[in-house]
A and B are shown apart, each in its own frame.
Chain A
């Protein structure tokens, strides 16, 4: 797999669109998955936001300074778009309609595994958008507090508060859920 750095350089120096297509190929699945978690598994919205993220990234790639990883930078754009969307629209939760998802070998996953992701997204509905993003980036993507602070452009203390409060709310929600 070609490194992000060399692909970005190819886009910037040689205006190589195929190199950007390759970047999209390498990052589309993780970004779309994260946005599905942030949007409580609204697949259409998550895909719209993902497309917009890549478009913005392409337009402002010359501003990328290699100070962070490309994925961190991509998440920063995605999070900004996600927040803008949250502000402009009331969130709608779309029932999961069973669009099959595949593992890395392209095999259709079993329903039990799909349920973990859908149910997790559903449980995260009790959290605010900020808490959801912070919890997902920390517990799922395993970003450090500092990296999350950079992505969400909020102080380190606020990140810690979002994660701690988010954990607490999620624990309560899952307790109730188990009790149903």
Chain B
């Protein structure tokens, strides 16, 4: 069969290309798109934020009840003061680096 005939064959196919009806195609796709959109952005970011705020409030309430709030604030202040020194910063960064590497390495096997 010559090239011209092949061109003609495709030309005929192009001219008579059928419209393929939906038959539920768009509805099914729409349902899958809905799943992609869930959870919505406000919920995706709002839920962890709400959790963090609730957790913090709960922690303050418990600590004030047990009288350890003053102790905790002293501890936080002491850590903050210590972290200003260079060796502590360096050790912190190095340990962060190794932790990140370990997590990335572990991710491959999970």
Taking Cβ atoms with an 8 Å cutoff, the residues of A that contact B are 17, 20-21, 24-25, 28-30, 32-33, 47, 50-51, 54-55, 58-59, 101-104, 106, 109, 113-114, 116-117, 120, 139-140, 142, 167, 170-171, 174-175, 178
Chain A CB within 8 A of B13 CB: yes
How many residue-residue contacts, CB under 8 A, span A and B? 86
Beta-carbon contact of B6 and A171 below 8 Å: yes
Beta-carbon contact of A103 and B19 below 8 Å: yes
| The residue from A50, A59, A106, A140 contacting B19, defined by CB atoms under 8 A apart | A106
Q: In the assembled complex, which residues on chain B have CB atoms less than 8 Å from the CB atom of A109?
A: 16, 18
Beta-carbon contact of B13 and A51 below 8 Å: no
Bound CA–CA A102/B17 (angstroms):
9
Interface residue tally on B, bucketed by range:
20 to 34
Q: Which 3 A-B pairs have the closest CB atoms?
A: A139-B10, A101-B18, A171-B1
List which B1-48 residues lie within 8 A (CB) of chain A: 1-3, 5-7, 9-10, 12-14, 16-22, 25-26, 28-30, 32-33, 36-37
Bound CA–CA A30/B32 (angstroms):
21
Bound CA–CA A50/B36 (angstroms):
16
| Nearest A residue to B32, CB-CB | A55
Beta-carbon contact of A20 and B33 below 8 Å: yes
Given A17-B37, A33-B20, A54-B29 in contact, is the A117-B2 Cβ separation under 8 Å? no
Given A55-B32, A175-B1, A178-B1 in contact, is the A140-B14 Cβ separation under 8 Å? yes
Beta-carbon contact of B32 and A120 below 8 Å: no
Q: List 29 A-B contacts (CB under 8 A).
A: A28-B22, A29-B19, A29-B20, A30-B17, A33-B20, A47-B25, A51-B29, A54-B29, A55-B36, A58-B36, A59-B36, A101-B18, A101-B19, A101-B21, A102-B20, A104-B19, A116-B12, A116-B16, A117-B13, A139-B7, A140-B13, A140-B17, A142-B14, A167-B3, A167-B6, A170-B6, A174-B1, A174-B6, A175-B1
